[in-house]
Amino acid sequence: MGENEAGLPNTSLQGKKMAYQKVKADLRTSGHSQYLDNDDLQATALDLEWDMEKELEEPGFDQFQPDNAEHQNLGHSETLDLRLDSIQPAMSPKGRFQRLQEESDCVTHYTRSAPKSNHCNFCYMLKMLCIATALFIFGIIIGYYAHTNCSSDASLPGTNNPQLYQEILKTIKAEDIKKSFRNLLQLSDSEDDMEISKKIKNHWIELGLEDAQFINYSVLLDVPGPSPGTITVSSTGQCFYPDGQPCREEARRGHSQDLFFSYAAYSAKGTLQADVIDVSYGTVDDLKRITKLKNTTNQIALLKLGKLPLLYKISLLERAGFGGALLYIDPCDVPESAVIRSEPFMVTLNPGGDPSTPGYPSHDGSFRQSRPNLTSLLVQPISASLVKMLISLPKLKMDKDTCIHLELPQNEKRTVSLQVQTVTKFKTVSNVVGYLRGLTSPDRYIIVGSSHRAGHSYKGQEWASSTAAITAFIEALMLRVKKGWRPERTIVFCSWGGTPWGKIGSYEWGEDFVKILQKNAVAYISFHSPIQGNSSLYPVASPSLQQLVVEKIKFNCMRRAQCLGANVSSVQIQGDADYFINHLGVPTVQFAYEDIKTLEGPSFLAEAIFPKHAAKIEELDPSFNLHEVITKLSGEVILQIASEPVLPFNALDIALGVQNSLKGNQPNVPSLLSLASRLRDSAELFQSDEMRPANDPKERAPSRVRMLNDILQDLEKNFLVPWVPPGFYRNILYHLDEKTSQFSILKEAWEHCSPQTSNETLQEALSNVLNSINSAHISFKAGLDLFESVLLGKN
């Protein structure tokens, strides 16, 4: 016997449809039952009939059919006996109730021969009428409670109901986020990091989150030593701390522990006396120019943060033979009001995870590699005020709107002695992880992450801002869960530890559960540092999620001018999304507010971590309305990905992004362009032939939806390449910044390529891009072939 798409036997379905049609026809000619004189009961019965009729289309409805039920041919009612078999659930539920409503008429129209005894006939009719009445009243009671339950929960899991999402999100209030934020800051002033983690965990449990727990790892951290770093000018003997203050005990006491946290984690340790060479931003062009003019061996580079990943620039300095680097932020690259114009800061030279266990989790008994430093350079961040003293910048009269970039004159020589005194030690990093298990697909995970305070004297506020926002969403979500609703997929909430040292908590957790996450992770939503400014919304999303993010911004910005005109991009970002993007190929979304001047300036300035309250959150967002916007935008994206039957990923946008990334000044390789065109064709076919029907409830089949979702969540994995320059994303769908649309690895390889050098680097980059596009094309094609074969098999 063949099956339809819903998995039901065809003959059974036809029988049910015939029963429904016959009873519906009988209803037109028969009078209403006495039991339907009551309008309330009639409406309730009809509601139940409609609900039960819908279940005919659901797979597995035959489970409700008793074994002794038989399909009857209602087209020949004159051949049937008046038995209870005629109202068994094998027939249409709607027909069942209508037959009961017509029972009195059915007796009068029945065509059997008259009984021999009028008394027996009367008793028989009375008996049947009593049974029918009891069953009918029982059905009404069931229908009433079923209707009540459905009304109490407006949306069942697996349905697209924006109204439900808004009901959940409307409980998120700015004043509640502000209160939570202040409470967290009070904790940071009085308790250590482990206590803060415990408070977060206990609060999540109080809100109702399931299985909230600690997941701890013993990792190698590079922390401040007994003394802060120093820079001594050889010609004068003057010694300075990184903030520009003289090396005196009173200056050190006045700055408390902040001086100690002005360092580069995992830098080489020791002392180096050498000339300072200004390399500007340390780009390939900058270093080509410098190395032609000067000997850079064992010299100290004066390096600006920004434009390119710091790890990449450090690798270029190592290749050029430098022995050290003084790192700073040019005041012209940041807003005039920003405190960071004159403050020292911390950076990390760790690409991610525990340096002593690269690529595998830090469990007790794991092999530990000896890696006290991750570079051969002595690296020291310093303030812009100290740079001005080193280059002896004259006080020039200038227009107040003019900003002069800091630069050491090429014909002047500065010799300094650089001392770095950090130490490495093993410490425990804790993650707080809690779950809200999905109802129908509990093995599919939407991961939502923020970070909590790390560093024994680290006084930043960003962690409290992100923790308050994610906690507000959890509270709103659990209020709905307590009323009986659940998402279709599991939502995993994570508060990461060890983020300043190189996203250590998230990396270790990802490496610990990599096999599960590779198969089951659907998306990652980041709450990292949501308020970095207050003038412009800055959304970042994977290509497959950009359309969803644009829709949410348009809907939510109708009432809020702060997020109008926001452009969604796929660019490298800071925070704990790194592992999920680069090692798992998981689609990612992050919302944040920024200053327009920062967005217009060089990228990667956010790699600097300020130990003081460099970004005072309450000054940027005094009413916490921006926090509320970020929380609601992120929350709606989470709810839709977790609850929609078909994942709201746009496959065609990936193909269009690939084509756009092949534009520009880089070499046009015909094979790449041709393959990108075929990828777009297959993506269009996949979008129209598979995704559109799956989004139609009338055409949706659970088995096909599951296969479709598996393909969608794995699409970005095709674009993970095995090797990239330090600091670059392995997921080549992400660009370095908004100003460049080319594939980052192709752009970097093309800049290195010259007639004097081998073009092996360029060829390797081209091969990686080609293989990624081809893999995605095969994935689309295999999906189309699979669906076609399944359809042919059912037919």
A 10 A CB-CB count for 306 gives 22
pLDDT level of residue 78 (50, 70, 90 thresholds): very low
Q: Which residue did the predictor score with more confidence, 737 or 688? A: 737
Phi-psi region of 551 (alpha: psi -120 to 50; beta: other; left: phi over 0): alpha
> 641-681, pLDDT tens digit by residue?
999 999 999 999 999 999 999 987 666 678 899 999 999 99
Q: Which residue did the predictor score with more confidence, 457 or 207? A: 207
* Contact predicate 180/630, CB 8 Å: no
| Per-residue pLDDT, 727 | 96
Q: Does 141 score more than 80 pLDDT?
A: no
Measured between alpha carbons, how far is residue 189 from residues 192, 255, 460, 461 in Å? 8, 17, 11, 11
Q: Does 11 score more than 60 pLDDT?
A: no
Q: CA–CA separation, 663 vs 754, rounded Å?
A: 20
Phi-psi region of 503 (alpha: psi -120 to 50; beta: other; left: phi over 0): left
Q: Does 397 score more than 70 pLDDT?
A: no
* Contact predicate 344/350, CB 8 Å: no
Residue type, 513: F
CA angle at 548 for the pair 515 and 720, rounded to the nearest 5°: 35
Quick one: average pLDDT of 366-393? 91
Strand partners, 215: 431
| Per-residue pLDDT, 33 | 38
> 475-493, pLDDT tens digit by residue?
999 999 999 999 999 999 9
- Which range of 171-175, 552-556, 669-673 scores highest in mean pLDDT? It is 171-175
3-state SS of 680-739 is HHHHHHHHHHHHHHHCCCCCCCHHHHHHHHHHHHHHHHHHECCCCCCCCCCECCCECCCC
Q: CA–CA separation, 722 vs 329, rounded Å?
A: 32
pLDDT level of residue 404 (50, 70, 90 thresholds): confident
| Per-residue pLDDT, 310 | 97
> 282-324, pLDDT tens digit by residue?
999 999 999 999 999 999 999 999 999 999 999 999 999 999 9
Q: CA–CA separation, 750 vs 752, rounded Å?
A: 5
Residue type, 510: G
Q: CA–CA separation, 123 vs 117, rounded Å?
A: 10
Candidates 706, 636, 783; CA nearest to 441 is: 706
| Per-residue pLDDT, 82 | 31
How many residues are present in the chain? 795
CA angle at 486 for the pair 436 and 6, rounded to the nearest 5°: 120
How do beta strands 230-233 and 347-348 pair? Answer: unpaired
pTM for the full model? Answer: 0.79
Q: Which residue did the predictor score with more confidence, 414 or 16? A: 414
Report phi then psi at 419, rounded to 5. -125, 125
Candidates 267, 235, 316, 230; CA nearest to 725 is: 316
Q: Does 101 score more than 60 pLDDT?
A: no
- Over the chain, what is the mean pLDDT? 79
Measured between alpha carbons, how far is residue 29 from residues 26, 80, 249, 338 in Å? 5, 19, 102, 81
Q: Does 336 score more than 80 pLDDT?
A: no
| Per-residue pLDDT, 374 | 96
